[in-house]
């Protein structure tokens, strides 16, 4: 299990109780600057192995993080604030999704920030709140912002399907991520193309719409997408892996749909 733990942005006493508990129980901690993070950990008497994980070694360290996560529990922290926002971690989230390793975010205190971390999407990010009820007001909201970057919405269960339908008509095909039950036992992260929305979910949600660089192959069904790569000469396993990467979902999700 990998925990992306939010650390104080200034006052060291602002670390949450759960964040402190997680840092005490994990087997090791990955951080940007071991000397900087040691100050926080000493303040809370946390004694765990520390490994560097920053923008200059993120790719090289990724497999090491995955290995440690398979063997036990791992925490990832930044120098201050929430990892994966403008700090290392987004590419690690995608790798965790691909390898089926569970992960969560701890202590951010802000639903759309936590959901953005869990999605694995990258900045720029625009927070849009709840969409208005009337389509004309929705148009005004979206026409007034840059919709080419990642967009974050709060969505109620009553408006989930209508909001997804509206956003597809307005924005076209894009990767989307629905996050529910944040920080709870049944926390769930669901990736899907905006043209093929989930419809059987209940609860309160954060919806993330990824940037506009959507792969046109994702307009196919999953089976057609995989078959396309097989026709190009890939093995089925290679085709499944590439399809998962194109669609921004885990390899296991694609594999299950191919059974």
pLDDT tens-digit series, residues 44-98: 999 999 999 998 898 889 999 999 999 999 999 999 999 988 877 888 998 999 8
Chosen domain end from 109, 144, 169: 109
State the pTM of this model.
0.80
pLDDT of residue 188: 92
Gap between the Cα atoms of 58 and 139, Å rounded: 39
The angle that helices 90-99 and 236-247 make with each other, rounded to 10 degrees, is: 140
Same domain, 179 and 226: no
Q: Residue 47: give its domain's CATH number.
A: 3.40.1010.10
Q: Taking Cα atoms as reference points, which of 231, 251, 248 lies closest to residue 240?
A: 251
Claim to verify: residue 186 and residue 235 sit in the same structural domain: no
**Distance between alpha carbon 50 and the CA centroid of its chain, in Å?**
24
Structural domain boundaries enclosing 196: 125-209
> What pLDDT is attached to residue 77?
96
Write out the chain's pLDDT in tens, 259 residues.
999 999 999 999 999 999 999 999 999 999 999 999 999 999 999 999 999 999 889 888 999 999 999 999 999 999 999 998 887 788 899 899 989 999 999 998 899 999 999 999 988 899 999 999 999 999 999 999 988 889 999 999 889 999 999 999 999 888 999 999 999 988 999 999 898 887 667 778 999 999 876 566 776 788 889 998 888 899 999 999 888 877 767 788 788 888 7
Per residue in 64-79, pLDDT (tens digit) is 999 999 999 999 999 9
Give the sign of the dihedral formed by CA 152, CA 157, CA 161, CA 162: negative
Q: Could you tell me if 62 and 8 lie in one domain? A: yes
CB atoms within 10 A of CB 197: 19
Residue 16 makes CB contacts below 8 A (sequence gap 6+) with 6, 106, 107, 109
Burial class (CB in 10 A: 0-12, 13-18, 19+), 73: middle
- Count structural domains, the chain: 3
What integer pLDDT is reported at residue 72 of this predicted model?
A: 96
Q: Mark whether 189 and 224 lie in a shared domain.
A: no
Residue 48 domain flag: yes
Can you tell me which residue has the tokens 């093995």?
235
Query: Same domain for 200 and 237?
Result: no
Same-domain status, 24 and 56: yes
The verdict on 203 and 248 lying in the same domain is no
Is 162 part of a structural domain of the chain? Answer: yes
CA atoms of 163 and 158, how far apart (whole Å): 9
In a domain, 61, yes or no: yes
């Amino acid at each position: 299990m990998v925990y992306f733990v939010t650390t104080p942005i200034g006052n060291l006493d602002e670390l949450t109780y759960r964040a402190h508990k997680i840092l005490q129980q994990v087997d090791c901690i990955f951080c940007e600057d071991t000397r900087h993070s040691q100050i926080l950990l000493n303040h809370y008497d946390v004694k765990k192995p520390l490994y560097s994980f920053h923008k200059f070694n993120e790719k090289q360290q990724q497999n090491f993080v995955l290995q440690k996560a398979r063997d036990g529990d791992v925490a990832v922290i930044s120098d201050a604030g929430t990892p994966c926002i403008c700090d290392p971690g987004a590419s690690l989230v995608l790798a965790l999704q691909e390898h089926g390793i569970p992960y969560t975010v701890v202590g951010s205190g802000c639903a759309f920030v936590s959901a953005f971390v869990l999605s694995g999407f990258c900045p720029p990010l625009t927070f849009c709140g709840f969409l208005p009820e009337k389509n004309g007001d929705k148009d005004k909201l979206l026409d007034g912002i840059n919709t080419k970057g990642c967009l974050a919405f709060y969505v109620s269960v009553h408006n989930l399907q209508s909001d997804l339908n509206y956003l597809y008509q307005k924005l076209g095909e894009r990767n989307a991520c629905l996050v529910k039950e944040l920080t709870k036992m049944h926390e769930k992260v669901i990736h899907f193309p905006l043209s093929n929305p989930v419809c059987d979910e209940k609860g309160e949600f954060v919806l993330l719409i990824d940037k506009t660089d959507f792969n046109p192959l994702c307009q196919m069904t999953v089976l057609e997408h995989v078959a396309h790569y097989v026709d190009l000469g890939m093995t089925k396993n290679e085709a499944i892996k590439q399809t998962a990467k194109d669609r921004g979902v885990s390899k296991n999700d694609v594999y299950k749909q191919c059974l």
